[in-house]
């Protein structure tokens, strides 16, 4: 690398750090607290019958009385306080006792609004417009030995919501009942809403989920498409990176689903139940809490898919289990990440050794391959035939050099997702200046060290790039990786740094053992 290239890299690094520190960070303020107004699902209004069925009188909306201040009732759940009120939403709030929104002692607890940016959650609605007022009625809320009961009744309908809290379960059992006195709607909707915001540092991880023959994820874009979902829909959920609000259906008839826009960067997801008689009963499991594998599986076996481990989930599960097992001994997830990285490096050493050995064989054949390219530059078929013949005669298999890398790729990507998404790292301290492994490095020390170690690793690794443009691109890779890691969790950057340091030690050993000349010596 010449002097001008090195100077350009330093200038780019300074620009990236300055942009992050003086422009991006000041804009990352707390999310707005203005809730999105919740309405009856649009799909419900579109399905309103054009006329009243023959022989059945039209429903007459009850005359709303002047509202009194809503009374609240708090249930002590296994993972926090569940706040109910007399309004139309099932949940006024749910405050987790073991998780805070920040690292300071006076930081507020994680609650529903911090995850979905909504005041109150989950509502019951119907596809009959004459029942639209039920979305905002005020009922009567009473405590029971097992939890609470909310009731409302007028000339058109009788509604009830029964909530049960059990010390043996980590969720809230709910039973929603509706009895229709005049005419029955065709469909009942159980809905939840999530509001995305560009001011949230985890906006890219805020999603709506539903289970329909597998988990489906809905990103909260500027304009969300409306979509009808065929049954069976097992659960609906609103998630952030580390927390989830989920409603799991427990009825004997699997409901359909409905996805709808609910404002700017906001979406609504609903369970849709057919109403076949003059009454309907909907049993649900409602969970709000961390996206922890065992906690989610305790609610429902399908709910663990809410954690996004990517394509290589089958590799992510054992890696997370191994990380938690190491934590039992060292009691520090930062040290656990270091030990896990070194352990994986030892286990994959035979593959790296084989790859380097093949790379050396390939380097030995380069002069002969170059002569073949010059001789048959106008005959592609002969060129390929002669090159394969040369490699075969010298015992070199092109796939042998790629296979070790391909085998390691699932492990790399799975561990990347584990360290990015696991609740175990949420506000987990490491040491020195890193007090939260789920947040970025506050002083950018680990990203800068990562760029330096990758540059050293590049100098020690044999250079196989023959194209000058490709070689220059490879020289910029340490800077690109370092800049990429600036905004990512420090636990993930720690893994990349330790992996790069271990790779340097491994490369020095292999260079001596196989008598390989590093790129800096060529």
- CATH of residue 273's domain is 2.70.98.90
**Residue 333: is its pLDDT beyond 80?**
yes
**Residue 182: is its pLDDT beyond 60?**
yes
Domain boundary among 274, 289, 308: 308
**Residue 192: is its pLDDT beyond 60?**
yes
- At 372 the pLDDT is 76
Q: Is residue 43 part of a domain?
A: no
Exposure letters 410-427 (e unless 16+ CB within 10 A, then b): ebbbbbbbbbbbbbbbbb
232 preceded by a cis bond (ω within 30 of 0): yes
Q: For residue 76, what are its two tokens?
A: 């002590």
List the domain range (segments joined by +) for residue 363. Answer: 9-17+316-521
C-alpha to C-alpha distance for 284 and 236, rounded to whole angstroms: 11
- At 367 the pLDDT is 75
Cα torsion for 223, 226, 231, 233, to the nearest 10°?
30
**Residue 132: is its pLDDT beyond 60?**
yes
CA atoms within 13 Å, Cβ hemisphere of 156? 20
Query: Greater confidence, 250 or 12?
Result: 250
Residues 367 and 428 occupy one common structural domain: yes
Residues 328 and 303 occupy one common structural domain: no
Residues 6-14, mean pLDDT to the nearest whole number: 46
Q: Is residue 2 part of a domain?
A: no
Residues 507 and 394 occupy one common structural domain: yes
- At 404 the pLDDT is 64
- At 481 the pLDDT is 80
Residues 465-494, mean pLDDT to the nearest whole number: 78
Q: Is residue 465 part of a domain?
A: yes
**Residue 507: is its pLDDT beyond 90?**
no
Query: Greater confidence, 25 or 431?
Result: 431
Name residues whose C-beta falls within 8 Å of residue 395's C-beta, 6 or more positions apart in sequence.
361
Query: Greater confidence, 303 or 372?
Result: 303
Domain boundary among 252, 283, 308: 308
Residues 368 and 422 occupy one common structural domain: yes
**Residue 440: is its pLDDT beyond 60?**
yes
Q: For residue 344, what are its two tokens?
A: 């994986």
C-alpha to C-alpha distance for 373 and 388, rounded to whole angstroms: 12
Q: Is residue 72 part of a domain?
A: no
* Residue 128 backbone dihedrals phi, psi, to 5 degrees: -95, 120
- At 387 the pLDDT is 74
Q: Is residue 228 part of a domain?
A: yes
- Rg of the Cα atoms in the chain: 29
Q: Is residue 287 part of a domain?
A: yes
Question: pLDDT tier at 382 (50, 70, 90 boundaries)?
Answer: confident
Query: Greater confidence, 457 or 252?
Result: 252
- As for how many domains the chain has, the answer is 2
Residues 395 and 492 occupy one common structural domain: yes
Q: Is residue 55 part of a domain?
A: no
Residues 377 and 298 occupy one common structural domain: no
Residues 296 and 321 occupy one common structural domain: no
- At 519 the pLDDT is 54
Domain boundary among 277, 308, 339: 308
Q: Is residue 47 part of a domain?
A: no
Residues 323 and 359 occupy one common structural domain: yes
**Residue 47: is its pLDDT beyond 50?**
no
Residues 295 and 322 occupy one common structural domain: no
């Amino acid at each position: 690398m010449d002097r001008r290239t090195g100077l350009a890299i330093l200038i780019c690094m300074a620009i990236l750090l300055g942009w992050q520190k003086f422009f991006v960070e000041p804009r990352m303020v707390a999310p707005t607290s203005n809730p999105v107004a919740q309405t009856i699902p649009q799909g419900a209004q579109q399905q309103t019958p054009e006329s009243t069925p023959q022989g059945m009188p039209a429903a007459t909306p009850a005359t709303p009385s002047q509202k009194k201040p809503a009374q609240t009732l708090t249930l002590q759940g296994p993972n926090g306080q569940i706040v109910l009120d007399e309004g139309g939403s099932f949940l006024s709030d749910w405050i987790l006792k073991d998780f805070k929104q920040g690292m300071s002692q006076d930081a507020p607890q994680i609650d529903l609004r911090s995850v979905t940016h909504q005041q109150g959650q989950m509502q019951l609605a119907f596809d009959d417009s004459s029942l639209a007022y039920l979305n905002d009625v005020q009922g009567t809320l009473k405590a029971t030995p097992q939890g609470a009961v909310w009731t409302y009744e007028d000339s058109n309908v009788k509604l009830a919501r029964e909530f049960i809290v059990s010390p043996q379960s980590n969720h809230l059992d709910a039973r929603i009942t509706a009895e229709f006195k005049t005419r029955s709607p065709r469909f009942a909707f159980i809905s939840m809403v999530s509001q995305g915001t560009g001011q949230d540092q985890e906006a890219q991880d805020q999603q709506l989920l539903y289970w329909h023959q597998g988990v489906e994820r809905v990103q909260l874009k500027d304009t969300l498409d409306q979509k009808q979902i065929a049954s069976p829909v097992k659960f609906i959920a609103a998630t952030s990176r580390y927390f989830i609000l989920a409603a799991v259906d427990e009825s004997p008839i699997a409901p359909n689903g409905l996805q709808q826009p609910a404002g700017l960067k906001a979406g609504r997801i609903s369970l849709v139940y057919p109403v076949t008689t003059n009454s309907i009963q909907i049993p649900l499991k409602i969970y709000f809490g961390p996206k922890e594998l065992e906690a989610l599986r305790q609610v429902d076996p399908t709910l663990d898919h809410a954690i996004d481990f990517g394509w290589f989930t089958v590799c992510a599960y054992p890696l997370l289990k191994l990380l938690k097992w190491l934590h039992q001994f060292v009691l520090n997830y930062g040290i656990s990440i270091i030990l896990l990285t070194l352990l994986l490096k030892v286990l994959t050493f035979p593959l790296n050794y084989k790859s380097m050995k093949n790379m050396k064989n390939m380097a030995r054949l380069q002069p002969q391959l170059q002569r073949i390219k010059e001789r048959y530059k106008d005959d592609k078929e002969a060129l390929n035939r002669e090159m394969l013949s040369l490699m075969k005669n010298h015992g070199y298999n092109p796939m042998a050099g790629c296979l070790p890398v391909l085998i390691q790729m699932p492990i790399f990507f799975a561990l990347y997702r584990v360290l990015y998404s696991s609740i175990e790292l949420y506000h987990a301290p490491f040491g020195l200046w890193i007090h939260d492994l789920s947040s970025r490095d506050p002083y950018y020390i680990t990203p800068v060290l990562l760029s330096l170690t990758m540059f050293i690793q590049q100098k020690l690794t044999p250079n196989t790039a023959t194209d000058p443009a490709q070689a220059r691109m490879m020289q910029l890779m340490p800077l690109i990786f370092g800049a990429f890691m600036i905004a990512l969790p420090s636990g993930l950057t720690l893994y990349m740094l330790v992996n790069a340091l271990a790779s340097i030690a491994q490369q020095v050993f292999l260079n001596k053992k196989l008598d390989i000349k590093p790129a800096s010596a060529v």
